[in-house]
C-alpha cells in the first residue's frame, strides 16, 4: 500500500512535475525550430534550382513522388507541402526583420498566415500577434477571419485624423474672440473647455 503524500513531499513532487513540463516544452520548441529551419532550407533549395532554370515547375511533383517512394514514412513532403515550403522561403527571404520570428511560430500558423494574408505588413502583424499572444492555430485563424488587422489599421488611420480635428477644435475655442462670442457666464472655467 502506498504512503500518504505529505505537504512537503507534495511540493517537491509538484516541482519535479514542473521540471518535466518545462523540459517537454523546451523540447517541443527545439523540434519546431528544427522543423521550420528544414522547411526553409528545402524551400530555398527548390526556389534557387527553379530560378537558375535547372528545374522546371513540374519537378516538384517528381520530387514528392521520389520522397514518397524512397521514404514512405516521411510525411509532409507532398507536392503541396513542397510548394508551400518554396512559398514560405520566397515570401520571407528578403525580409531580415521577419527572419527572427520564423522559428517562433508553428508550421500550421505559418501556413495560415501565408494562405490568408495579402501584404507583408499583414503577415508581420499576424506573426507578431501570434507570438505575443501564443495563439493556437484555431485562435490565429479566428483572428485572421475576424479581420483584426484591417480594423487595427483603420483605427490607426482614423486616430490621427480625429486627433488633428480635436486639436483644431480646441485651438478655435482657445481663441479669446471665440470665447467672447460665445457669451459665456462670468464664472465659466476655460479649463472646462479644454479637451487636451
**Residue range 104-152, pLDDT digits in tens:** 999 999 999 999 999 999 999 999 999 999 999 999 999 999 999 998 8
Cβ neighbours around 125 below 10 Å, total: 19
Q: Is the pLDDT of residue 174 over 60?
A: no
As given in the structure block, the three cell numbers for residue 142 are 479566428
* pLDDT (0 to 100) of residue 110: 96
Tell me what the pLDDT averaged over the chain comes to.
83
Is the dihedral angle over the CA atoms 20, 22, 28, 34 positive or is it negative?
negative
**Residue range 71-116, pLDDT digits in tens:** 999 999 999 999 999 999 999 999 888 888 899 999 999 999 999 9
Strand runs (DSSP E) across 89-169, as ranges?
none
Q: Is the pLDDT of residue 41 over 90?
A: yes
- The gap between the terminal CA atoms of the chain, to the nearest Å, is 73
Overall pTM > 0.75? no
Amino acid at each position: 500500500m502506498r504512503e500518504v503524500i505529505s505537504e512537503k513531499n507534495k511540493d517537491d513532487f509538484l516541482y519535479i512535475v514542473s521540471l518535466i513540463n518545462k523540459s517537454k516544452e523546451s523540447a517541443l520548441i527545439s523540434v519546431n525550430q528544427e522543423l521550420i529551419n528544414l522547411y526553409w532550407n528545402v524551400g530555398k533549395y527548390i526556389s534557387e534550382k527553379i530560378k537558375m532554370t535547372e528545374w522546371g515547375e513540374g519537378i516538384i511533383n517528381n520530387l514528392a513522388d521520389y520522397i514518397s517512394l524512397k521514404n514512405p514514412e516521411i510525411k509532409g513532403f507532398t507536392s503541396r507541402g513542397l510548394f508551400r515550403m518554396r512559398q514560405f522561403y520566397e515570401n520571407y527571404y528578403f525580409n531580415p526583420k521577419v527572419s527572427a520570428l520564423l522559428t517562433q511560430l508553428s508550421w500550421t500558423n505559418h501556413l495560415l498566415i501565408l494562405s490568408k494574408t495579402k501584404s507583408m505588413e499583414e503577415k508581420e502583424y499576424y506573426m507578431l500577434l501570434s507570438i505575443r499572444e501564443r495563439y493556437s492555430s484555431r485562435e490565429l485563424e479566428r483572428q485572421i477571419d475576424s479581420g483584426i488587422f484591417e480594423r487595427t489599421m483603420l483605427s490607426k488611420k482614423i486616430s490621427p485624423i480625429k486627433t488633428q480635428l480635436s486639436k483644431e477644435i480646441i485651438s478655435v475655442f482657445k481663441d479669446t474672440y471665440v470665447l467672447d462670442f460665445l457669451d459665456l457666464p462670468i464664472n465659466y472655467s476655460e479649463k472646462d473647455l479644454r479637451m487636451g
